[in-house]
Each structure stands twice: as C-alpha cells, then as structure tokens.
Structure 1
Amino acid sequence: MTTDQTSSLLFGLAVIVLLARALGALARRIHQPAVIGEVLAGIALGPTFLHGAVSDTLFPDSIRPLLSALAAVGVAVFMFLVGVEWDAAMIRDSGSLAAIVSLGSVLLPFGLGILLAVYLMDDYGSGDHTSFMLFMGIAMSITAFPVLARILTDRRMTRSPLGVIALACAAVDDVLAWSLLAAVVAVSGSAGSDQWRILLAVPYLLGMFFVVHPLLARLVARRPSARMTPTVFAGVVVGLLLSASATEWLGLHYIFGAFLFGMILPRSGTEQVRADVQERLGHLSGTLLLPVFFLVAGLSVDLSGLDVGGLGALGLILLVAIGGKFTGAFLAARFNGMPLRQSAALATLMNTRGLTELIVLNVGLQLGFLGPDLYSLMVVMAVVTTAMAGPLLSWIIGRPATALQPTSRSTAPFSTNAGRPVTASRRAAPVDKTNEGNRDT
C-alpha cells in the first residue's frame, strides 16, 4: 500500500464509523433499529446522491478492494455470532408451532417470489433463469433473527410466550433459508471449473457435526470451569476463519462456514466463554466491520435513475415480500390455535429482514443472480420491511409499556394443534449480542 492509499483508507474508515454511529443513534431516537440508520448511511455515501461524487472522493477505487475485504470479515463474524445464538433447545421447547409457522412463512413467500421472478424476468432476469427464480424466492423468505431479538428486547418480550415462539420461529427460518441458499449456490455452477468440490460439502458437514463438535464437547468436559483466555479466544477465531474458508473453497460461500462453526460450539459449560466471545467480537464487528459492509453494500445501490417502471417493480416486490411472509406466518399460527392478535404480531415479527437480507442480496449480486437495478430495489425492500415492524407491532398489541407480558399464572396462552401447550422457556431467550451498544443489526 502506498502512503496515499493508507491515508485514504484510515480517513474513510473514520468517516464510515462516525456516520454509521450518528445515523444509527438517530434511528434509535425515532424508535427504529439502528441498522436502518446504518444502511441509509451506506446508501447516502453511494452513487444515489450527487452521482457518486462523495463516494468517489472519500473512497477512491484504489482502496475499495480493501474495504470489500474488511466487509467480508465483518459478515463472517456476524454470521458466526448468529450461529452462536442459534439454540436448538429453544426450538424443542416451542413444540410443533415453531416448525409449522416457519414452514408457512418460508414456503408461501418462496413460491410467490418465484412467480414474481417470472414476471420480472424480461427486465431484471439474469442469464441463469432457474437460479434467478430460486434466489428471488429465497430473498422473499428471509427473517432477520438479530433484528427480531432486538425488537423483543426493547419491548421486554423475550421471555413472554409470544417472544419465545417468535425467536424459535426465526431460528428455524434461518436454517431453512440458509439451507435453500446453499443449495441454490451449489447447483448454480458459481464455482466454475472447480464445481466438483461441492461434492465434498456432505462429508464436510458430517465431519463438523460428528467429529469437530464431539471433540469440542470433550475439551469442554475436561475443563468444566472454562474461562476466556487469549488462547481460547484465538482458537475460536481460528475455527471461525477456517470453517468460512472451507465452505468458500467448496464453492458454497464463506457465510455458511462461519454460521456453521457458531452452531456447533458446545452450549453446556461454555456460557461464559460464549458470552465473552460475543462481546469481544461483537464490539469490533458492530463498530467497524459491519458499517464497512453497509458502505460496500450502499456503493452498489443507485436509485438516482428510478423511473415509473422501477417504482412499479418496487411496489410488486414490497407486496410479495410483505404479503407473502405475513400471510404464510399468520395462517400457520391461526391453524395451530393461536389467537388473532398474537398471530398478527408473530407474522409482523417474521417480516423483519435487516442485515440478514442484505447479506443474502450481496451473495446474489456477487454470484450474478441479481443485476444492479434489481439489487437496489431489493435493498429498499429490506429497509422498508425492517422499519415497519416496530410501528406495526405497536399498532397490533400496543406500545412496549402495555405489550403482552408473561404472568405468574399463565404460561400457555395458546397451544399447538396437537394439544401440547406452548410455554415460555425458563431460560433467558437468546438475545443478539453482536454489539452491546448496537444489537439490532
């Protein structure tokens, strides 16, 4: 790196952090997740305003590859932390309701997304029509677990029956959506001449679950009072990076390896270690790395040339994204005996997309599933669906002060169709800890 590159990079990072924190704080002042402000900061620095003059000045082409590299590290760390928060026990505690609602909130928007892709094919389709349709279906099916957790935390609902069910549904939703995306990436041929490597994905998964996970569990069992040390922290970071590197080499994407390594970390006996890892990595990721990702994502968003046709396409995208997700979750919840208001509230929570959607969209842009114009429209959809969740939830079940809370006499206000009561777990429901000051990405 030259002196000019180094100076430009460091100055640009300072601008990114300051603007992200300022707009994130402003978003929280108006009762919105900070991710809304941070995404808007990235878009504001992009080509949408002043034809990119600001971004060209602050972030010359010579440093953009470096920013992209930092953004990739930030996304990998974020996906690892999401995997750490994923709790299979919480899903089991919720009974069949979480699985059924998750299926409904994925399958319906997935199918509608495919139909929308067929309609948009002529104007926005990629060369690989099948991959384009499948990817659009996945993009419509995403729920952002961290944003949902933050909304529930702000409303003091993480331990309420509705909050526990919503978190469990979002966790199942994550796995379904990531699995579908991995399958699409695998069959799309994005790895080129090295496509044969995808055949190693199955033994890799088996090795992670049946070799690496048991080994880690044995190490923890030998040290029941495991505490965070520089060596332990380094081991976690190395494991995260190696797993992400492996799935990227296999032709999937590094986000899957990062998420998977977070999932397989032992839960029992590692509570303090996981909390420390989340805090240390979360502060770095939320303060520096993720704002860089928002900038890189914003540099690809150009709404300056949006015309009537583009507005029509955006309207259809919003209709399918919001209507499909809400209807699928709402009908599944009602089918399982959940009361009307709780069903509507749960369907609203499942509509949050946040950073998770942006990660999926960037995968699509990198692999050529989405063009720049459609990518820009989809980013707008991600912002709108995230911003509307809080106000709509307040309209359905009231402000946080009057939101539904668990009572001492009632832990099963609704039940599954199998007659098994759905009770709030006595454990604290998982809360996103990617950044204590900004835990809503």
Structure 2
Amino acid sequence: MTSHQVQLLLADLALILFLARMLGALALKLRQPPVVGEILAGILLGPTLFDGMLAETLFPADVRPLLTALANIGVALFMFAVGLEIDHSTLRGRGRLTAGAAVGSTLVPFGVGLALAYYLMRVHHTDQPVAFAVFIALAVSVTAFPVLARILADRNLSRTALGGIALATAAVVDIVAWAALAAVQASVGGGGEHWRVALVIPFIAVMLVVVRPLLRRFLVREGQTAVLTPGWFSVVLIGVLCSGAATEAMGMHYIFGAFLFGIVMPREGALELRDAIGGRVQHITTLLLPVYFVVAGLKVDLSGVGASELTQFAAIMLVAVAGKFGGTYLGARFQGLPARPSVALSALMNTRGLTELIILGVGLEAGLLNESLYGLMVAMALVTTAMTGPLLTLVFRKKVEIPQGRPGGTGGGAAAAVPDTPDAIGDRDSRGENHAVGRT
C-alpha cells in the first residue's frame, strides 16, 4: 500500500462510520431500524448522485479492493453472529404454528417469485435461466432474522407469545434460505470443479459431530461457562475465519461457513458466554458492516431509472410484499392464529435488512444479477424494511391476543397480550444500545 492509499483508506473509514452513525440515529428518531439509515448512506455515497463523481473522488479504484476486503470480514462475523443468535429453544413448543407460518412465508413468495423471474428475464437476459429464476424467488422469500429480533426488542415484544412465534418462524425461514442459496451458488460456480461442493456434507457432519462437542467441552465445563478471555475470543474468531475459508474452498460462499460456526456454538448453559461473544463481535461489526453498505452502494446506480425500471420495481415490490404477507398470513391462520396477530406476524416476516443485501451480493458475484436489477432489488430491501415499523404501529393500536388453547398455539399458559401502550410500540431502552446482531 502506498502512503496515499493509507490516507484515503483511513479517511474513507472515518467518513463511512460518521455517515452510518448519523443516518442510523436519524432512522431511530423516525422509529426505523438503524439499518435503514445505514443502507441509505451506502446508496448516497454510490454513483447515484452527481453522475458518480462523488463516488469516484471519495472511493477511487485503488482503494475499493481494500474496502471490499474489510467488508467481507465484517459480513463473515455478522453471519457468525446470526448463527449464534438462532436459539434452538425458540423452536420448541411451537411446532405446528411455526411450521405453518414458515411454510407459508417461504413457499408462497417463492412461487410468485418464480413468476416474477419469468417477467424479469424478458428484460434482463441471462445464460442461466433456471438458477436466475430460483435466485429471484429466493430473494423475495427471505426474512432478516437479526433486524426482526431488534424490532421485537425495541417494541418490548420479545417475551410475548407473538414475539416467540415470530422469532421461531424467522429462524426456520433463515435456515431454509441459506441452505437454498448455498445450492444456487454451488450450481453456478466452480466451472468444472463442482465435485468440491460434495465436500460440504462431510464438513457439516464434522462440525456437528466433532467441533460442536469440542466447543462445549472447552467453553462449558460442569455447567459453568468459561470466562471469555482474549485467548478464548481469539479461538472463536479463528474458528469463524477457518470455517468460512473452508466453505469458500469447497465452491460455496464463505458466509455459509461463518454461519455454520455460529450454529454449532454451545447453547445450553452458555447464555452469558454467547452474550459476551456477541457483544465483542458487535464492536467489530459496528465499523465493518457500514463498509459493506458502502461497497454495496457503489454498485447501485439509480440515476438512470426510467419508466421501464419503475415498472420493474413496482412488480418486484408487489411480489415481495404480497407474497410475504399473503403466505405468512395464510399459514398462520391455517394453524389457528387469530387475524390481528397473523397480520402482525406477516409484517414482521416482510422485513429484510442486511440479510437481503448479502444474498443480493452473492447473486451479483455469481453473475445472476446485473447492476441495474441489483439496484432495484436493493431499493426493495430498503423499502420493505422501512415498512415494518409503521405497519406494526397500525396493527397494535388495539391489543393483540393469542388465546389459550387455540389450534397450533404455543402451548399452555395464559393468553398472551401485546400491549397497546406507546412503550410497547417502539420506545428504546434508556441506553439506546443495540444487541450484538439485532442492530442490523
């Protein structure tokens, strides 16, 4: 690196962090997740404004690879934190209702997404129509588990029955989405080396049968979790990076390895350890994730959007919103959840956040998306995430109750009510701090 590159890199990092924090804080004041402001910051710093002159001046070509490298590390740690946050216990006791909502929230948008892909293929030609169709269907089916968890926490809904159902449903949808994306990414990459993908199966087996017990043995002893010293945290980071490198070498994306390492981390008796790891990871991703938003924003050029692009965007929004809402609502109602909480659950499942951007980034790297369609999909992720808060406020003007003993319900206990007070509809805690993953 030259001295000039070092200067630009440090100045760019300072600018990115400043804008991300400022626009994230503004989003909070508007009762939006910080990720909305951070995504907007990435788009504003990209080529959309001033014919790209701002982007070229602030982020010249010799600095962009350095920013991309930092962004990749941030995404790997974020995906590890997503896997770490998925608590297996959220799926217990919610089998039928979670399954019904998850099936509806996945299959219905996936089905209408295939029709959307057929429409988009007439404008955006592709050499891989099957992979393109599956990818578009997957992109409109995803739910952002981390941002959903943050919204629930901000609105004091995490410990309600509705919150538990939403987290369990989103966890299932997320796992299915990452597995499907892995299959799509493997099908379009690697040239004549597709055989490497077969190594993923024994790799997963080793992670579950060997690595998970070893982690539990050393991090949880006799029911007591180990103190998270710098040494132990380094071990965790080494595991994340090696797991990501392994899946990348197998022809998959590094995000799958990082996510898998988060999944195999100890759960039972390790809550404090997970919180400590998550807190330290947040300190790193606070800097690196905004870099990813800018790297993504540098590929989004909305300056040339015309009537054709607006028509495509309208179709994308219609499919993304209607598919998620309709599918989740039908699945929840089919299992006996009352109408109003079913609407609230549908609104929550429609949020996409950074999860969508990561999936779109994989599609762009794999050649399934061109930059025009990528920009429209990023805009969809921004709008659908911003919709969640206002829709929940609208739904929660009255109490939302899940009566005891409904078919497919969460089990015993009194009826779980979602309060209609302002405090329950979005006031943040007094510190205004974010959880390890939920900030995005």
TM-score normalised by length of structure 2: 0.92
Q: Identity percentage over the alignment?
A: 51
Q: Structure 2 CA distance, aligned partners of 1:415 and 1:56?
A: 60
C-alpha separation between the residues in 2 aligned to 1:161 and 1:323? 25
CA distance in 2, matches of 1:415, 1:157: 21
Structure 2 CA distance for aligned equivalents of residues 437 and 215 of structure 1: 24
Greater Cα shift, 137-146 or 214-223:
214-223
1:236 is matched with which residue? 236
CA distance in 1 between partners of 2:137 and 2:216 (Å): 37
Match of 1:413 in 2: 403
Verify: 1:222 aligned to 2:214, yes or no: no
Shift of 1:418: 5.1
Tell me by how many angstroms 1:415 deviates. Answer: 5.0
- In the aligned structure 1, how far is the partner of 2:352 from the partner of 2:412? 25
- Unaligned 5+ runs, structure 2: 417-431
Task: Give the direction of change, closer, same or farther, for the CA distance of 1:269–1:372 in structure 2 (3 Å limit).
Answer: same
Aligned equivalent of 1:430: none
Question: Partners in 1 of 2:238 and 2:331 — Cα distance?
Answer: 41
Deviation of 1:147 after TM superposition, in Å, equals: 1.1
The whole-number CA distance in structure 1 between the counterparts of 2:207 and 2:404 is: 37
Mapped to 1, the partners of 2:437 and 2:253 lie a distance apart of 26
* Distance in 2, Cα, partners of 1:438 & 1:271: 15
Normalising to structure 1: TM-score of the pair? 0.92
Distance in 2 (CA, whole Å) between partners of 1:320 and 1:435 is 31
Show the counterpart of 2:179.
179
CA change 1:437–1:209 in 2 (3 A) is: closer
Residue equivalent to 2:355 = 356
Residue 434 (structure 1) shift: 10
Report the Cα offset of residue 90 of structure 1: 1.0
Match of 1:5 in 2: 5
**Paired residue for 1:429?**
none
**What CA distance in whole angstroms lies between the structure 1 residues aligned with 2:69 and 2:105?**
33
Separation in structure 1 between the aligned mates of residue 82 and residue 405 of structure 2, nearest angstrom: 28
SS, match of residue 123 in structure 2: helix
Q: Which position in structure 2 is the counterpart of 1:334?
A: 333
CA distance in structure 2 between the aligned counterparts of 1:276 and 1:88, rounded to whole angstroms: 19
2:350 partner amino acid: N
Q: Distance in 2 between matches of 1:184 and 1:301?
A: 23
Q: Which residue of 1 aligns with 2:46?
A: 46
Which residue number corresponds to residue 347 of structure 1?
Answer: 346
- 1:297-336 residue pairs with structure 2 within 5 A? 297-336=296-335
Q: How many residues align?
A: 424
**Letter aligned with residue 23 of structure 2:** L
State how far apart, in whole Å, the 2-side matches of 1:351 and 1:87 are. Answer: 21
Residue aligning to 2:56: 56
SS at 1:368 equivalent = coil
State the 1:126 CA deviation. Answer: 2.2
Conserved 8 A contact 1:297-1:362: yes
- Report if aligned partners of 1:48, 1:304 keep a CA contact under 8 Å in 2: yes
Distance 1:2 1:250 in 2: 34
Task: Name 1:409's counterpart in structure 2.
Answer: none
Q: Which runs of no fewer than 5 residues in structure 1 stay unpaired?
A: 406-411, 427-432
Residues in 2 aligned to 1:71 and 1:59: alpha-carbon distance in whole angstroms: 14
- Take 1:183 and 1:383, find their aligned partners in 2: how far apart are those partners? 26
Secondary structure, counterpart of 1:114 in structure 2 = helix
Quote how far apart the aligned CAs of 1:194 are.
Answer: 2.6
- 1:100 Cα offset (Å): 1.6
CA distance in 1, matches of 2:75, 2:433: 11
Deviation per CA, 1:342-390: give whole Å up to 9, x if none.
Answer: 1111011000000100000001001111110000000010001000011
